[in-house]
């Protein structure tokens, strides 16, 4: 009997916590933020969060967003799980103070969540979900500040052919929406350019030992190995590639663009690695100089996604200021008027699908333990 009683107490306690969750609303306007903040992609998500936080701090330092109303960031953890992403989206939608959402990280989360924001007429700007399919759904609430995979892949292919003259390419991806999408776009273009793709394989995120795979690749003698994925696996591939003695070029996408890549892979092994990024080098762009300084004094080194998220958040703030009200439709109407916004990566704007007009793809190489900017160009 005592045990039954205890069960009931537990249930009641749970109900109390539940009720405590529904607090009184305050006079604020909120920008939602959703990304994985725990779990294996927490590093990237937390990188994004820092960018968003900085943008909000900057906005608040420029005076109240609406007369007498303070701007706030609501950061929610989607654990890179699509189910959680939908729950998070509904939570943001349900909060009348939320006027725009910045997120999510993973395309697999952005996709189902975008339908919910669309239905609630809530502006969503994803800083990093680069899968082209998302904007093809025709949602007028969806915007993104990064270029899609169908730009980066072909750009890399052109570089491989024209500048590196590599004839035999081995493509690896990390079997995520991002990695597989990027790899497929690259292969499509390479085939069109009549370059021999001698193999395409996936690796598992979180795996550490790629030596057997690289040993096999070595025996195939490729001119170039391309990896579409994130920097933790990228660093290991680069490091183990050196250990195995796999010669030839190594190239990757913007997922590798993180200072940690060189440290984790060791500068020696990373020497000469090429990678493409979306937009130019953040350190090279005069308009971004202030941001870089502010970020580095506040948080330390910049992560791969911090700048995109800062940009997305700033644009959301801009739209709210333009709208001059907490009305979501007004914010949506405002962002449609966005043109030549002076962003970090240049003059930012969106096309009819909501994709960024900045289609510059930057090209970097690693020299003496540092990313060196080679050039930026629009390749399409």
Partner 1 sequence: MTPLQLFCQQLANGLTLGAIYALIALGYTMIYGVIQLINFAHGELFMVGAYVALTLVLLSSAGPLPSGIPWWMTLLVCGLGSMAAAGMLGAAIERFAYRPIRHAPRLNALITAIGMSFFLQNALMLLYGATDRHFPNPIPLTRWEVGGVTVTLMQLVVWAASGLLMVGLQLLVMSTKLGMAMRATAQDLKACALLGIPVDRIIATTFVIGSAFAAMGGMLFGLHYGTINFHDGYLMGLKAFTAAVLGGIGNIPGAMVGGLVLGLLEGLGAGYLSSQWKNVFAFLILVVLLLFKPRGLLGERVADRA
Partner 2 sequence: MEGFRNQTVRWAIGVIAALALPILNPNPYHLDVLTNALLYALLALGLNLIVGLAGLLHLGYAAFFAIGAYTYGLLNLHWHWPFWIGMIPAAIVAGLSGVCLGVPALRVRGDYLAIVTLGFGEIVRIAFTNLEQWTGGPNGLLGIAHPKIWIPGRGLIDFGVASMPYYYLVCITTAAVAVVCVRLSRSRIGRAWVAIREDELAASCMGVPVLQLKLLAQGCGGAIAGLAGAIFASKQGTVTPDSFDFILSVMVLAMVVLGGLGSIRGAILGALLLGSLPELLRWFEQYRMLLFGLTMIVMMRLRPQGLFGRSSQGLAPDRAHAGSA
Q: Summarize as ranges the residues that interact with partner 1 (CB under 8 A).
A: 38-40, 42-43, 46, 175, 201-204, 206-213, 215-216, 218-219, 231-232, 235-236, 239, 243-245, 260, 263-266
Nearer to partner 2, 49 or 358 (CB): 49
Q: Closest approach of Cβ 179 to partner 1, in Å?
A: 11
What does the alpha-carbon distance between residue 140 and residue 249 come to, in Å, rounded to a whole number?
A: 41
Q: Indicate which of partner 2, partner 1, none lies near residue 288 (CB less than 5 to 8 Å, by partner kind).
A: none
Beta strands 168-173; 224-228: pairing state: parallel
Query: Contact with partner 2 (CB under 8 A): which of 104, 180, 189, 326?
Result: 180
C-alpha neighbours within 13 Å on the C-beta side of residue 95: 28
Closest CA to 47 of 35, 59, 62, 64: 35
Nearer to partner 1, 263 or 329 (CB): 263
Q: Indicate which of partner 2, partner 1, none lies near residue 206 (CB less than 5 to 8 Å, by partner kind).
A: partner 1
Residues 6+ positions from 105 with CB-CB distance below 8 Å: 35, 36, 41, 44, 45, 48, 78, 80, 128, 129, 305
Q: 109, 85 in Cβ contact below 8 A?
A: yes
Nearer to partner 1, 231 or 291 (CB): 231
Stretch near partner 2 under the rule CB under 8 A, chosen from 169-177, 208-216, 230-238, 309-317: 169-177
Question: Exposure string (b/e) for 235-252, b if CB count within 10 Å is 16 or more?
Answer: bbbbbbbbebebebbbbb
Nearer to partner 1, 94 or 209 (CB): 209
Query: Contact with partner 2 (CB under 8 A): which of 153, 179, 248, 343?
Result: 179
CA-to-CA dists, residue 228 to 54, 153, 202, 290, angstroms = 29, 9, 9, 31
Secondary structure percentages of the chain, helix, strand, coil, to 5: 50, 20, 30
> Which stretch of DSSP H or E encloses residue 19?
helix 2-21
Nearer to partner 2, 93 or 128 (CB): 93
Q: Closest approach of Cβ 223 to partner 2, in Å?
A: 26
Nearer to partner 2, 23 or 245 (CB): 23
Stretch near partner 2 under the rule CB under 8 A, chosen from 179-187, 238-246, 252-260, 277-285: 179-187
What does the alpha-carbon distance between residue 182 and residue 185 come to, in Å, rounded to a whole number?
A: 5
Q: 122, 328 in Cβ contact below 8 A?
A: yes
Residue 377: what are its φ and ψ, rounded to 5°? -155, 155
Q: Indicate which of partner 1, partner 2, none lies near residue 14 (CB less than 5 to 8 Å, by partner kind).
A: partner 2
Q: Indicate the Cα dihedral angle 130, 348, 291, 365, nearest 10°.
A: 50
Q: Which two three-digit tokens encode residue 365?
A: 């190489």
Q: Indicate which of partner 1, partner 2, none lies near residue 179 (CB less than 5 to 8 Å, by partner kind).
A: partner 2
Residue 340 gets which letter from DSSP?
S
Q: Closest approach of Cβ 173 to partner 2, in Å?
A: 9
Nearer to partner 2, 90 or 188 (CB): 90
Nearer to partner 2, 176 or 313 (CB): 176
- With binding defined as CB under 8 A, does residue 158 bind partner 2? no
Q: Closest approach of Cβ 177 to partner 2, in Å?
A: 5
Site string for partner 2, 195-234 (x = CB under 8 A): -------x--------------------------------
- With binding defined as CB under 8 A, does residue 131 bind partner 2? yes
Residue 79, SS3?
Answer: coil
Query: Rule CB under 8 A: which residues touch partner 2?
Result: 3, 6-7, 10-11, 14, 17-18, 21-22, 37-39, 75-77, 80-83, 86-87, 90-95, 106-108, 111-112, 115-116, 118-119, 131, 133, 137, 175-177, 179-181, 202
């Amino acid at each position: 009997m005592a045990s039954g009683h205890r069960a009931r107490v537990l249930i009641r306690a749970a109900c109390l916590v539940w009720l405590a969750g529904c607090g009184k609303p305050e006079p604020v306007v909120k920008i939602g933020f959703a990304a994985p903040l725990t779990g294996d992609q927490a590093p990237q998500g937390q990188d994004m969060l820092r960018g968003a936080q900085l943008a909000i701090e900057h906005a608040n330092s420029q005076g109240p967003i609406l007369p007498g109303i303070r701007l706030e960031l609501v950061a929610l953890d989607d654990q890179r799980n699509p189910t959680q992403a939908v729950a998070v989206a509904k939570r943001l939608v349900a909060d009348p103070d939320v006027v725009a959402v910045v997120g999510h990280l993973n395309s697999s989360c952005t996709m189902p969540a975008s339908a919910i924001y669309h239905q609630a007429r809530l502006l969503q700007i994803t800083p990093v979900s680069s899968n082209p399919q998302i904007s093809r759904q025709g949602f007028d609430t969806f915007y993104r500040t990064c270029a899609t995979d169908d730009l980066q892949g072909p750009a890399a292919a052109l570089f491989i052919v024209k500048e590196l003259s590599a004839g035999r390419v081995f493509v690896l991806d990390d079997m995520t929406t991002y990695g597989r999408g990027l790899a497929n776009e690259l292969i499509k273009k390479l085939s069109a350019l009549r370059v021999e793709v001698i193999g395409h394989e996936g690796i598992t995120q979180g795996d550490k030992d790629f030596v057997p795979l690289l040993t096999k690749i070595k025996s195939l003698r490729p001119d170039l190995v391309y990896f579409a994925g994130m920097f933790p696996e990228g660093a290991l591939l680069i490091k183990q590639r050196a250990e195995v003695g796999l010669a030839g070029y190594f190239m990757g996408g913007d997922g590798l663009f993180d200072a940690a890549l060189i440290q984790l892979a060791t500068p020696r092994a990373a020497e000469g690695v090429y990678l493409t990024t979306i937009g130019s080098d953040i350190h090279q762009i005069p308009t971004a100089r202030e941001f870089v300084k502010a970020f580095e004094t506040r948080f330390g080194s910049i992560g791969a996604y911090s700048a995109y998220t800062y940009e997305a958040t700033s644009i959301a703030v801009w739209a709210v200021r333009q709208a001059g009200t907490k009305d979501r439709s007004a914010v949506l109407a405002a962002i449609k008027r966005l043109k030549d916004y002076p962003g970090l990566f240049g003059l930012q704007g969106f096309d009819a699908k909501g994709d960024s007009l900045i289609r510059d793809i930057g090209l970097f190489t690693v020299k003496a333990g540092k990313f060196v900017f080679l050039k930026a160009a629009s390749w399409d």
